[in-house]
Amino acid sequence: MTTITWTATDVDGMTATGTQTITVNDKENPSIVAPDGISTGNDLHLPSAVVSTGTAQAADNCPDVKVSSSRSDGAAPGDPFMVGLTTITWTATDASGNTASAKQSITVRDVEAPTLVMADNIITVNATSTTGAIVTYTLNASDNVGVTSTVCSRASGSYFPIGETTVTCTVADAAGNTASGSFVVLVLNAQAQMENLIQYILGLGLSEGTTNPLVNQVRAAYGDGSVGQQCNKMSDFISMVVKKGRGIPFDNAAYMNTEAARIMAVLGCGYAPSRTRLLDPSLLGN
């Protein structure tokens, strides 16, 4: 605002004054140029990135223009940017309240592959039938943003044949980054299970009079090429365990007969003596 004072003077030097006010309103918006858009990868192991955005440049016909910014995600200006697109709106405001705005795009790309950890390189299980067993396994997969899919060549809970099967698994995230790994599922046949049963018996520390007949019986089944004879010998083994009575701790005897019954199923015997004849010594009294 500008004030003009007008003065009138007559020949005698007499004066009179009046004032006039001139107001010039600033109706011109400032100008503003946003920094260039930025595209960058995520920070390691994080779903975000710290980004130096720069600052918008503003100009105005009057001094004291101020620059401010706001983000489309509502975060503070210096906060990390999440994976995806975030828009920054830069605003210039002059002393008269005139404004202008410009936008800047910040894109954070997920460039980090997921992590896949296998429980074991080899998973060993006993066959439960003549052809194989159902096998379950666990995968530990993680990602800085999140795993979206897990695909394995043979899924957990599938039926695996006797022998070795290689399983290959691939995990992916939403950005298409992938990680793969493999492990082996080993399903033991009847002979391998017999050998493990022998080692179990030898490790119990029972008397020779108890240990040797049991071990020899399993070895006889192991060495007999006839399935029928193998079935008979394993059936006799179960009967021997029952007859040994208190010579074998109850839990150990129950375990041995459970193993023997499964071995008979793998051989395809089609039958196994009942294990219910094992009596818990704690129920018999002294």
CB neighbour class for 190 (10 Å; exposed up to 12, middle 13-18, buried from 19)? buried
211 SS3 class: helix
CATH number of 31-109: 2.60.40.10
Predicted confidence pLDDT, tens digits, the chain (286 residues): 788 888 788 888 888 887 878 777 666 889 999 999 999 999 999 999 999 999 999 999 988 999 999 999 999 999 999 999 999 999 999 999 999 999 999 999 999 999 999 878 999 999 999 999 999 999 999 999 999 999 999 999 999 999 999 999 999 999 999 999 999 999 999 999 999 999 999 999 999 999 999 999 999 998 877 899 999 999 999 999 988 766 899 999 999 999 999 999 999 997 666 543 554 544 444 4
Q: Which two tokens stand for residue 82?
A: 């999440």
Q: Which stretch of DSSP H or E encloses residue 63?
A: none
CATH architecture of the domain formed by 115-188? Sandwich (2.60)
CB neighbours of 119 closer than 8 A, spacing ≥ 6?
137, 138, 139, 140, 183
Instruction: State the Cα–Cα distance between residues 171 and 178, nearest whole angstrom.
Output: 6
- What pTM, to 2 d.p., does this model score? 0.77
